Structure 1
Amino acid sequence: MFVVSLTYTCELSEIEKYLAAHIAYLEQQYAAGHFLASGRKVPRIGGVILAQADSKAQLMQILALDPFKQQQLADYDVIEFIPSKTADALAFLKQ
């Protein structure tokens, strides 16, 4: 399991230019089962993605497809963790 923290490196006007493509990318990754949750940071300085992948290397390949990454609009901090305790509704995440 991974927490991906994106921090924008540009003005929001640049982010907005690629937002539709980024959302389409997110939808593809949800459909593939890689992403479990995502959303904007508050204040709007980036975003967070809860992801699953076989390895960090695989996740980095997945993240390389993000238009924000391809256009160098954000920095990506990837934290790997093993969920050992969850709320009942998220028990499927336990490893």
Structure 2
Amino acid sequence: MFIVLLRFAENRAAAAEHMPAHQQWIKLGLTDQVFLLVGGIQPGLGGAVLAHNTSRQQLEQRVAEDPFVVHRVVDAEILQIAPGMADPRLGFLLPAR
């Protein structure tokens, strides 16, 4: 599983211009069942995505296609997490035993 941090970069002022395409990118990630949760990093520092059901290479490609990344509205950082324990409601994130 992965956490993608999308922190505002030098072209932050162009966020409104690229927001519709960025939202389409998010919707595709949700439809493809790769994104579990998408939200803002507070206070107004950018966004974050919780992703799973993908490889790191596939996620890197997907993130590279985000219009916010393409147009340098944000810088992306991908953190990979190897789940070890979880609340039963999140058991689907644990590796099969």
Q: Same fold (TM over 0.5)?
A: yes
1:40-84: CA deviation from partner (whole Å, max 9, x where unpaired): 111111111001244211111111111101111111111101111
Residues 21 and 10 from structure 1, CA distance in 2 versus in 1: closer, same or farther, beyond 3 angstroms? Answer: same
User: With structure 2 as the length reference, what TM-score do the two structures score?
Assistant: 0.88
Q: Percent identity?
A: 28
- State the alpha-carbon separation in 2 of the partners of residues 79 and 90 from structure 1: 18
- State the alpha-carbon separation in 1 of the partners of residues 48 and 54 from structure 2: 19
Residues 6 and 62 from structure 1, CA distance in 2 versus in 1: closer, same or farther, beyond 3 angstroms? Answer: same
User: With structure 1 as the length reference, what TM-score do the two structures score?
Assistant: 0.90
Partner residue in 2 for 1:50: 50
Unaligned runs of 5+ in 1: none
Unaligned runs of 5+ in 2: none
Partner residue in 2 for 1:19: 19
RMSD, aligned CA? 1.4
The count of aligned residue pairs is 95
CA contact (8 A) 1:53 1:59 kept: no
CA contact (8 A) 2:13 2:73 kept: no
Query: Map of 1:43-82 to 2, 5 A cutoff?
Result: 43-82=43-82
Moved over 4 A (4+): none
Superposition deviation, residue 12 in structure 1: 4.8
